[in-house]
Amino acid sequence: MSFAQTVSLGAIAGFTIYLGLPISRLQKLSPRVRSFLTGTSAGILLFLLFDIVSHVEEPIETAVRQAVEGKASATDAILFLIIFVIGFGVGLLGLVAFESRFLRARVQQGQPAPAQLALIIATGLGVHNFSEGLAIGQSAVQGELALASLLIVGFALHNAMEGFGIVGPLTGTRPSWNFLGLLGLIGGGPTFVGTVAGYSFTSPAISILFLALAAGAILYVIGELYHVARQAELKTSAAIGLLVGFLVANGTELILEMSGP
């Protein structure tokens, strides 16, 4: 697969995130439905968190196994573990700092809280999607065309779901098209950038770093989302949404695996 073909498909995989954004402009939604949709967003992200951690574990476990069997030194295993811990911490605490120092200032100037939360979600998913782009580019440049094609299709499906996850808190607020365009660019654009970077070079350490950053950021976002969703009288709607979002995201993953080679 050529560089031009790879990055073009990587761009498509990233910008399918726009498919889920327009739902936020629906206004006639009850508080119960909004709580359900926000809980669904949290459920989607919860699945992505598990999915990310499983992908991080693979190179770390391989490095540890090789070190134990004497096939390699323990340096790589220790380095990967350190990178994961640092990346996870920065991803989690970095969004806390970003939210308190930048976004809260915007809230004081009149920016509504739902928009603040949507920006945080888009930022966390953008970091995650950069790592997805890396996976696409690296598999293509290594000649694993079937895997690259599978990743493109799978990430396109996931990103469409992520678009819905970003605007879950915005449902009923009717955000502007410009703001939705910005959210899509923040959340989906890094898939394209990661595809370019992944095609240019391969690095397990960098891949682990960005996956860890994404995991930390998404963990923070899940907490914020579910806090918004589970108002005292709407806990059931939020919990059902959480379950539905997790199962739907898991279903797209299963379909992807079943259609693979």
pLDDT, tens digit, 9 for 90 and up, residues 107-150: 444 444 677 778 877 887 787 788 778 777 876 776 656 556 65
Give the SS3 label for residue 176. coil
- Does some domain include residue 25? no
Higher pLDDT, 81 or 142: 81
Q: How far apart are CA 217 and CA 222, in angstroms?
A: 9
Residue 260 to residues 58, 59, 142, 152, 213: CA-CA distances in angstroms? 19, 21, 18, 12, 28
Chain-wide mean pLDDT for the chain? 76
- Residue 66 sits in which domain range? 3-17+31-258
User: In this model, does residue 30 exceed pLDDT 80?
Assistant: no
Residue 62, classified by CB atoms within 10 Å of its CB into exposed (0-12), middle (13-18) or buried (19+), is middle
Are 163 and 18 in contact by the 8 Å Cβ rule? The answer is yes
Query: Mean per-residue pLDDT for 191-220?
Result: 80
Q: Is 110 part of any domain?
A: yes
Residue type, 150: L
| pTM of the model as a whole | 0.68
Residue 139, SS3 per DSSP: helix
In a domain, 232, yes or no: yes
Domain count, the chain: 1
pLDDT at 58: 83
The answer to whether residue 23 is domain-embedded is no
233 pLDDT more than 50: yes
Q: What is the pLDDT of residue 112?
A: 43
Give the per-residue pLDDT at 34: 72
Q: Looking at the predicted structure, is the pLDDT value of residue 187 above 80?
A: yes
Higher pLDDT residue, 1 or 54?
54
Using CA atoms of 43, 258, 151, 14 in order, give the dihedral in degrees to the nearest 10.
Answer: -40
Residue 35 has pLDDT above 80, yes or no: no
The answer to whether residue 24 is domain-embedded is no
Q: Which residue has the higher pLDDT, 80 or 38?
A: 80
Q: How far apart are CA 118 and CA 164, in angstroms?
A: 10
Q: Taking residues 101-111, what's their average pLDDT? A: 50
Establish if 136 belongs to a structural domain. yes
* More confident call, 175 vs 230: 175
**Which residue reads 């910008």 in tokens?**
15
Backbone angles phi, psi at 111, to 5 degrees: -70, 125
Please indicate, yes or no, if residue 108 is contained in any of the structural domains: yes
Q: Which value, to the nearest 10 degrees, does the dihedral of the CA atoms of residues 48, 53, 54, 57 take?
A: 160
pLDDT of residue 259: 53
pLDDT for position 41: 74
Encoded tokens for 46: 């919860």
Asked if residue 137 belongs to a domain, the reply is yes
Q: Are residues 239 and 230 in contact, defined by beta-carbon separation less than 8 angstroms? A: yes
d(CA 129, CA 123): 10
Angle at 32 between CA 27 and CA 36, to 5 degrees: 90
Q: Which residue has the higher pLDDT, 234 or 231?
A: 234
The answer to whether 191 touches 130, Cβ cutoff 8 Å, is yes
